[in-house]
C-alpha cells in the first residue's frame, strides 16, 4: 500500500491550502472517505469528487505519527524518557498521568513547539507519515499537526479572520475573502460552531463564550486541514455542557484526523479515547486500548492511578 | 486560570471584613487611612486650583485675535500680536517627534519582549531607555545642540550666512523630542505585549506561522491600545517640554523658514511652541505680554488634558480579556 498525495482539483492549493491526501492502494482508490471532507454539498460543483461514502462503517485506522524512543530534557531535568508510541488516524489517543509526568511535553514535541523553550533538548525520532519531523520545516509540520490549548485563545480579530488566519500566507498571492469563505464555513461546521456564529462572522471572536471560543480554536486548526490534532487539556477551563459539546466534536473528527489528547479527567479519557497512554515521571508506563488500560491495567502504577489512589 | 481563581477567593474573603470595617480596624490602620485621605485630597486641591486659576486667567485673556494672529515684536502688550505661530510650532514639533519616536519605540519594545537576545544587550537597551526617562531634558537638549551644530548636520539645521551651523531647527528639536517620547512608547508597547499570554503566541506558531507574521498579524494588532496609549503619553511629554524648545528651536517667536524647498524649509528653520511662548512672555522671560502668556498656557493645558482623556478612552476600550 502506498500513500500518494494528490493535488485536489479545485485550485485550493493556490489559495495556500495544503493538498488533500488520499490513500491509494496499489494505484486504486479504496472505498474510503477522503481524508478531508470539504464543501458539505453547499458549494455547487466543488464537492462532487469528494463525496463522502455514506455506507462506510468500519473505522479506517492508519498510522500517522510514530514516536521512537523520544527523550526530552530541560537542562538537567528529564521530562520525557525513552517513549515510543504510535498515533493513528481514526483513533483518539489519550495521554494520562499525574501532573508533571511529561504528557504535555510529549504532546508539544509532536509539533516541535517544545523547541521554542531554549533549554529543551530532544532525542529520539518522531515520524510524520514516515518522514522525520526533525528535518521538516517547523511551519510545514505545524500546518499538518494542529494544536489546541488549555485556555481558549482566539486572536483579537473577527470570527472569520480567526478561522482564516492559518490560511493567509504572506506575499502577494494572498487568497481573498471569497476564496476562503467555503473553507472557513466548512471548518466552523466541523467544529460544531457554524449554527451559532453564521450570522455574525464579523463579530470579534473574544465576544464569544469560553466554550464557543474553544470550538472556534478547533475550527481555526481544522481550517489548515491538519492530519493530526493535539489537544492539551482542552476542556479544563470549560463548563460541563461545553465539555460535552467539545467531546462530541472530537469523536466526530477522529475519522479524518488522528487525535492526541492530554487530559487529567479520567472519565473524559474513558468516554472518548480509543487508546490510552499512561505516563509517570517521564516514563511511558502503559500503552494500549482504552478498555484494557482502564479495566485490566497491566502495571501496578496504572492500576493505582486509574483507581484514583494518586494523581 | 489559577491566578483568576485566586483573585476571586481574595475578593470573597474581603467583602465581609469590609462591612464591619470601622469596628475591626486598629488605631494604626485608622491613622494610615486618615493620612491617605489627606494626601489624596491635597493632591486634588492642588490640581484643581492650578486648572481653575489658569482657566479663569486664561479665559479672560483669550480671544479670536490672539489665536489667529502671529506674534510681533512690540514694546506694549497690545503690539505683540497673538500666538498662531507657536501653536503651529507645537503641532509640527509634536508630529515630528512622534513620527520618529513611535516606530523606533515600537521596534525596541518588540525586540525586547519577543527576541531580547543576547540577554546582556537587552539589559543594556533597557537601561538606555530608563536613562532617557530620568535624563533632565536640558541635558538632552545640550547634547542635541552638540550634534546638530556639527557641519555634518548642516542640512538639518538653521545656518547663518558664511556657513555657521546654529544647530537649531525643527529637525534638531524634533529629533531630541523623540528621545523624550521614546520611553513612553516603549513602555506602553511592552506592557501591552507582556499582557498577551504565551499560549496566544504558541497558538499562532501551532498554525504554522513564523515569529514575524505572529508579531505582525496577532501581537501588534492586539497591542494597538497599548501602543496608542504610550504614543499619546509621549506626545503629551513633547507638548509640555520647554527646555528642548528654548535650546534647539531657537527663540524666534515667528516661524522662520530656511531654504527654498517648501515644507522642508519650515522644518529646517526655527520657530517657537506654546511652551516657549509662555516662557518668553511670562515675567520669567522678557515678560512683555503676560496676559497672552496666560492665554497660551490655558490652551496648552487644554491640549494636555484632551490627550489624557484620549489615553483613558483608549485604555478603556482597547482592553482584551484573554482566557
DSSP A134: G
Option in A152, A156, A221 nearest B207 (CB): A221
User: Is A53 within the bounds of a domain?
Assistant: no
- The region of weakest confidence among A237-241, B34-38, B289-293 is B289-293
- Of B173, B179, B189, B191, which is closest to residue B129 (Cα–Cα)? B179
Q: SS3 letters for A44-106? A: CCCCHHHCCCCCCCCCCCEEEEEEEEEEEEECCEEEEEEEEEEEEECCEEEEECCCCCCHHHH
**Is-cis flag, bond preceding B118, omega within 30?**
yes
Confidence of residue B22 (pLDDT cuts 50, 70, 90): low
B200: closest CA of chain A, how far (Å):
6
Question: Phi and psi of B89, rounded to 5°?
Answer: -60, -45
Beta carbons of B323 and A151 less than 8 Å apart: yes
Confidence of residue B49 (pLDDT cuts 50, 70, 90): very high
Q: What integer pLDDT is reported at residue B5 of this predicted model? A: 45
User: Is A195 within the bounds of a domain?
Assistant: yes
Beta carbons of B207 and A220 less than 8 Å apart: yes
H or E stretch covering A121: strand A120-128
Task: Name the grid cell of B80.
Answer: 505683540
pLDDT along chain A (311 residues), means of 10: 44 46 43 39 44 50 90 92 91 92 93 90 92 91 94 92 87 75 93 92 91 94 93 91 92 91 92 93 92 90 85 57
Residues of B in contact with A221 (CB under 8 A): 206-207
Report the distance separating Cα A54 and Cα A49, nearest Å: 14
User: Is A23 within the bounds of a domain?
Assistant: no
Q: What integer pLDDT is reported at residue A19 of this predicted model? A: 45
Where in chain B are the domains?
62-317
Confidence of residue B265 (pLDDT cuts 50, 70, 90): confident
Q: What residue of A is the nearest CA neighbor of B200?
A: A153
Q: What is the CATH number of the domain that holds A260?
A: 3.40.50.300
- Of A98, A9, A74, which is closest to residue A47 (Cα–Cα)? A9
Report the distance separating Cα A221 and Cα A230, nearest Å: 10
Q: Compute the half-sphere exposure of residue B299: CA atoms within 13 Å on the CB side of its CA.
A: 24
Q: What integer pLDDT is reported at residue B63 of this predicted model? A: 85
Chain Cα centroid distance, residue A223: 12
Option in B1, B218, B321 nearest A155 (CB): B218
Select from A118, A119, A155 the residue whose CB has the most chain B CBs within 10 Å, as the one to mutate to test that interface.
A155
Q: What percent of chain B has pLDDT above 90?
A: 46
Are the beta carbons of B80 and B71 closer than 8 angstroms?
A: yes
Q: How many domains does chain A have?
A: 1
Q: What integer pLDDT is reported at residue B319 of this predicted model? A: 67
Whether the ipTM is more than 0.90: the answer is no
Beta carbons of B206 and A146 less than 8 Å apart: yes
Report the distance separating Cα A36 and Cα A222, nearest Å: 10
Select from A148, A151, A153, A214 the residue whose CB has the most chain B CBs within 10 Å, as the one to mutate to test that interface.
A153
Q: End-to-end CA distance of chain A, in Å?
A: 43
Beta carbons of B222 and A155 less than 8 Å apart: yes
Chain Cα centroid distance, residue A185: 19
Tell me which of B35 and B75 has the higher pLDDT. Answer: B35
Chain A residues with a Cβ under 8 Å from any Cβ in chain B: 111, 113, 116, 138-143, 146-147, 149-153, 155-157, 165-166, 168, 170, 206, 210, 213, 217, 220-221, 224, 230, 236-237
Q: What integer pLDDT is reported at residue A58 of this predicted model? A: 54
Beta carbons of A139 and B202 less than 8 Å apart: no
Q: What residue of A is the nearest CA neighbor of B211?
A: A139
- Of B293, B279, B318, which is closest to residue B60 (Cα–Cα)? B293
Residue-number span of the structural domain to which A139 is assigned: 90-116+133-307
Q: SS3 letters for A206-256? A: HHCCHHHHHHHHHHHHHHCCCCEEEEECCCCCCCHHHHHHHHHHHHHHCCC
Beta carbons of A151 and B206 less than 8 Å apart: no
Q: What integer pLDDT is reported at residue B315 of this predicted model? A: 80
CATH fourth-level superfamily of B62-317: MetI-like (1.10.3720.10)
Beta carbons of A149 and B202 less than 8 Å apart: yes
Task: Name the grid cell of A238.
Answer: 470549560
Residues of A in contact with B213 (CB under 8 A): 170
For range B254-272, the mean pLDDT = 82
Q: What residue of A is the nearest CA neighbor of B212?
A: A170
CB atoms within 10 A of CB A82: 14
Beta carbons of B321 and A221 less than 8 Å apart: no
Chain Cα centroid distance, residue B135: 14
CA pseudo-torsion sign A251, A253, A258, A263: negative
Select from B3, B203, B213 the residue whose CB has the most chain A CBs within 10 Å, as the one to mutate to test that interface.
B203
Beta carbons of A149 and B199 less than 8 Å apart: yes
Beta carbons of A111 and B206 less than 8 Å apart: yes
User: Is A232 within the bounds of a domain?
Assistant: yes
Residues of A in contact with B218 (CB under 8 A): 155-156, 165
Confidence of residue B322 (pLDDT cuts 50, 70, 90): low
Amino acid at each position: 500500500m502506498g500513500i500518494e498525495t494528490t493535488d485536489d482539483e479545485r485550485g485550493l492549493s493556490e489559495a495556500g491550502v495544503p493538498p488533500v491526501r488520499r490513500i491509494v492502494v496499489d494505484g486504486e482508490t479504496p472505498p474510503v472517505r477522503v481524508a478531508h471532507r470539504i464543501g458539505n454539498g453547499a458549494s455547487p460543483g466543488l464537492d462532487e469528487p469528494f463525496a463522502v461514502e455514506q455506507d462506510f462503517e468500519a473505522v479506517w485506522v492508519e498510522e500517522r505519527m510514530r514516536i521512537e524512543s523520544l527523550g526530552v530534557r530541560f537542562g538537567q531535568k528529564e521530562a520525557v524518557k525513552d517513549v515510543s508510541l504510535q498515533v493513528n488516524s481514526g483513533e483518539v489517543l489519550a495521554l494520562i498521568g499525574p501532573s508533571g509526568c511529561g504528557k504535555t511535553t510529549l504532546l508539544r514535541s509532536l509539533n516541535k513547539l517544545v523547541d521554542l523553550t531554549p533549554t529543551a533538548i530532544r532525542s529520539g525520532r518522531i515520524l510524520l507519515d514516515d518522514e522525520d519531523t526533525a528535518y521538516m520545516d517547523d511551519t510545514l509540520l505545524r500546518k499538518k499537526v494542529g494544536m489546541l490549548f488549555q485556555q481558549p485563545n482566539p486572536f483579537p480579530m473577527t470570527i472569520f479572520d480567526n478561522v482564516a488566519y492559518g490560511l493567509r500566507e504572506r506575499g502577494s498571492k494572498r487568497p481573498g475573502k471569497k476564496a476562503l469563505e467555503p473553507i472557513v464555513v466548512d471548518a466552523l461546521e466541523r467544529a460544531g460552531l457554524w449554527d451559532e456564529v453564521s450570522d455574525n462572522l464579523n463579530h470579534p471572536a473574544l465576544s464569544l463564550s469560553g466554550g464557543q471560543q474553544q470550538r472556534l480554536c478547533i475550527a481555526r486548526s481544522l481550517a489548515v486541514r491538519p492530519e493530526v490534532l493535539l489537544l492539551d487539556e482542552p476542556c479544563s477551563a470549560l463548563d460541563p455542557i461545553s465539555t460535552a459539546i467539545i467531546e462530541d466534536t472530537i469523536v466526530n473528527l477522529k475519522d479524518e484526523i488522528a487525535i492526541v489528547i492530554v487530559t487529567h479527567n479520567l472519565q473524559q479519557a474513558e468516554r472518548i479515547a480509543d487508546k490510552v497512554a499512561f505516563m509517570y515521571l517521564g516514563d511511558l508506563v502503559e500503552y494500549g486500548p482504552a478498555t484494557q488500560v482502564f479495566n485490566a491495567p497491566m502495571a501496578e502504577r496504572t492500576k493505582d492511578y486509574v483507581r484514583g489512589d494518586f494523581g | 486560570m489559577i491566578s483568576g481563581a485566586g483573585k476571586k477567593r481574595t475578593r470573597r474573603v474581603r467583602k465581609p471584613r469590609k462591612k464591619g470595617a470601622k469596628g475591626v480596624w486598629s488605631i494604626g490602620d485608622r491613622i494610615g487611612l486618615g493620612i491617605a485621605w489627606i494626601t489624596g485630597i491635597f493632591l486634588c486641591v492642588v490640581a484643581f486650583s492650578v486648572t481653575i486659576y489658569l482657566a479663569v486667567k486664561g479665559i479672560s485673556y483669550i480671544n479670536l485675535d490672539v489665536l489667529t494672529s502671529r506674534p510681533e515684536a512690540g514694546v506694549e502688550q497690545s503690539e505683540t500680536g497673538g500666538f498662531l505661530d507657536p501653536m503651529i510650532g507645537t503641532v509640527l514639533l509634536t508630529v515630528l517627534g512622534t513620527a520618529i519616536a513611535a516606530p523606533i519605540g515600537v521596534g525596541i519594545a518588540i525586540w525586547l519582549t519577543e527576541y531580547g537576545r543576547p540577554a546582556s544587550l537587552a539589559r543594556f537597551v533597557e537601561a538606555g531607555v530608563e536613562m532617557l526617562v530620568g535624563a533632565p531634558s536640558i541635558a538632552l537638549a545640550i547634547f542635541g545642540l552638540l550634534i546638530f551644530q556639527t557641519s555634518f548636520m548642516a542640512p538639518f539645521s538653521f545656518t547663518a550666512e558664511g556657513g555657521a551651523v546654529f544647530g537649531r531647527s525643527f529637525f534638531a528639536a524634533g529629533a531630541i523630542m523623540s528621545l523624550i517620547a521614546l520611553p513612553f512608547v516603549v513602555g506602553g508597547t511592552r506592557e501591552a505585549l507582556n499582557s498577551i499570554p504565551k499560549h496566544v503566541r504558541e497558538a499562532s506558531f501551532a498554525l504554522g506561522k513564523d515569529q514575524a507574521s505572529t508579531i505582525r498579524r496577532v501581537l501588534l494588532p492586539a497591542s494597538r491600545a497599548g501602543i496608542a496609549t504610550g504614543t499619546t503619553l509621549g506626545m503629551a511629554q513633547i507638548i509640555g517640554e520647554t527646555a528642548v524648545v528654548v535650546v534647539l528651536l531657537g527663540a524666534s517667536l515667528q516661524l522662520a523658514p530656511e531654504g527654498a524647498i517648501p515644507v522642508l524649509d519650515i522644518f529646517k528653520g526655527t520657530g517657537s511652541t506654546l511652551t516657549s511662548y509662555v516662557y518668553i512672555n511670562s515675567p520669567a522671560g522678557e515678560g512683555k505680554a503676560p496676559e497672552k502668556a496666560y492665554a497660551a498656557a490655558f490652551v496648552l493645558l487644554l491640549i494636555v488634558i484632551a490627550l489624557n482623556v484620549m489615553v483613558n478612552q483608549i485604555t478603556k476600550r482597547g482592553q482584551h480579556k484573554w482566557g
